[in-house]
Chains A and B, each alone.
Chain A
Amino acid sequence: MHEFSVANSLLRLIEENVRQNHGKSVIKVVVKVGVLSGIEPHLLKVAFDHLKERSVADKSELIIEVQQVLIRCRECGYTGEVEDYQFVCKECGSHQLDILDGKDMVLKSIQMEA
């Protein structure tokens, strides 16, 4: 249950950006959570909603976009999503895969009152 630590980092990042943009209060926060980040979206929401009280984001809505693992095969160039964490190319069976997306949690955007 590390989502509270993650939500705390997220709130710090939000506060920093609101300050830089001279915003007043936050309306909406959009994050992308990669399936490989190990962050559970539901628990992240629970943690965020709990921690946002007494912050500039206290009335904000958290939108979580779940990002599947996207790979590109080095052998045949196939690009697609990985299913069930099986890291094998669906086209040619190669294990030489580059992960394009789905590893990190990214704060995409903040909608705030100016």
Chain B
Amino acid sequence: MRMQFNIYRYDPESGKPPCMQAYELDFDPRGRKVLDVLMALKEVDETLAFRRSCREGVCGSDGVNVNGRNVLACITPLEGLRQPITVRPLPRLPVIRDLIVDMSQFFQHYRAVKPYLINLDPEPESERLQSPAERAELDGLWECILCACCTTSCPSFWWNPERFLGPSALMQGYRFIADSRDQAADERLDYLEDPYRLFRCHGIMNCVEYCPKGLNPTAAIGKIKSLLVKRAL
């Protein structure tokens, strides 16, 4: 089947402005994903640059914008996509080249929420135990693969990318606030109680719409707000 594509191209070394490049390719879309076709296009045009690694929706490295939606190229079926299929880099992050974006800002926000267990008790012999209910609190949070599909689809992040942490980092922040083994919940909430870091979230819910893992960052952000209210009252 003859398929048509429009791919965002940018090579900073060429000195030319970014542009959309049209491609046509004989490709059978049945059972194939967007990443398959990107790899096939790279066979034709080896200057095309994009990130990919696990090709099964686990590593989170091939987040791209396909026909206006942020998706993981490796798990997005080609069938059903309107042609020409338009592939752009994730919105609002600086483009390094073609579909490769600079994730520094995204990971800076991730680091800011201290995404690790803070527990000053002496380390136990084997492990820090949790009850099944305490462990269940973390479901729907730990599965985040940091692909940035949610954060880069969030208008609040578009307007204040330096100061609003974004849905992914906030959900990771809550993942450790909710962890029964963590002892720094207050310190974490102190950091988040700010008009920018957390409260730029207006519940637009693009993050929920676009999360390729089916997670709900808006709910996690809501739980942080509830905790802040409980703490304040």
Q: Do A and B come from one complex?
A: no
Interface residues of A (CB under 8 A from B): none
Chain B residues in the interface with A (C-beta under 8 A): none
